[in-house]
Amino acid sequence: MRLAITRDLSPAIARCQLTHLARQPIDLGRARAEHAAYEECLLALGCQVQRLPAGEEMPDSVFVEDCALVLDEVAVLTRPGAASRRAEVTAVEEALRPYRPTLRIGAPATLDGGDVLRVGKTLFVGLSTRTTAPAVQELERLVAPFGYSVAAAEVRGCLHLKSAATEVARGILLVNPEWTGEWVRGFERVEVDPAEPYAANALLVGETVIFPCAFPRTRDRLERRGIATRLVDVSELAKAEGAVTCCSLVFDA
């Protein structure tokens, strides 16, 4: 069974953390409709969706990816870089317990799940404003017994590593070359259209990529490479610096 854990939107989302974007009004009703359509897309791709209740006073809690890294053998609970987000982890931990043993990133390290890109048995960790170098060492200590290697990855100009690079097919990355470093050169790559710098965030579910409809030029590049896409509108969620990977934890239960 492929499971997707999601979380309902907080009515406080207008107070979300922002790093690279200016604050804009967020239409809560429209954002909830986008989120529901995103969940329908997950269902259509064969996922069973488990939606957690909203964190009423947790503005960013819809972005469950930042709270945990779910591997085949274990789930690693993060310590988000924004102190206001650390309370979000509790509900995600409870949701994961039936499916995985859990480990935890400890202080003083901070790690957002959006900064971790898994490619095979390698975990690339972006050193961002939310994720620190001690987190790389801590994560390596936790996952090495399960055969994973961990590598620090340069990221610049964006919130998370997965804003700059995601896997869109086995061993193929979708990248914004302006926001990534030399580490991506070892991979087959599709580069985003230069007019669509935010288009590198894509969610691979099975053999299909869930992709924002806001980036048609980059979608054409994916389709020309034979990568199937399923479009969703996440324009309101994007105002909170959210994207398609942020809103779910997808794994084989």
Can you give the CATH number for the domain in which 148 is found? 3.75.10.10
pLDDT tens, residue by residue, 169-217: 999 999 999 999 899 999 999 999 999 999 999 999 999 999 999 999 9
Query: Which residues are marked as active site?
Result: 160, 246
Burial of 186 (0-12, 13-18, 19+ CB in 10 A): exposed
Contact 32, 212 (CB under 8 A): no
Query: 213 to each of 17, 189, 199, 209, 230, how far by Cα in Å?
Result: 24, 21, 10, 12, 9
**Quick one: pLDDT at residue 198?**
96
Distance CA 73, CA 142 (A): 12
92-125 residues labelled b (16+ CB within 10 A) or e (exposed): beebbeebbebbebeeebbbbbbbbbebeeebbb
- Segments forming the whole domain that contains residue 214: 2-252
3-state secondary structure at position 117: strand
**What is residue 56's predicted lDDT score, i.e. its pLDDT?**
86
Cβ atoms 251, 95 nearer than 8 A: no
Q: How many domains does the chain have?
A: 1
CB 62 within 8 A of CB 7: yes
pTM, whole model, 2 decimals? 0.96
Q: What is the C-alpha to C-alpha distance for residues 87 and 21, in angstroms, rounded to an integer?
A: 24
The token pair at 122 is 């390698």
Whole-number average pLDDT of the chain: 96
Write out the chain's pLDDT in tens, 253 residues: 999 999 999 999 999 988 888 899 999 999 999 999 999 999 999 999 999 999 889 999 999 999 999 999 999 999 999 999 999 999 999 999 999 999 999 999 999 999 999 999 999 999 999 999 999 999 999 999 999 999 999 999 999 999 999 999 999 999 999 999 899 999 999 999 999 999 999 999 999 999 999 999 999 999 999 999 999 999 999 999 999 999 999 999 9
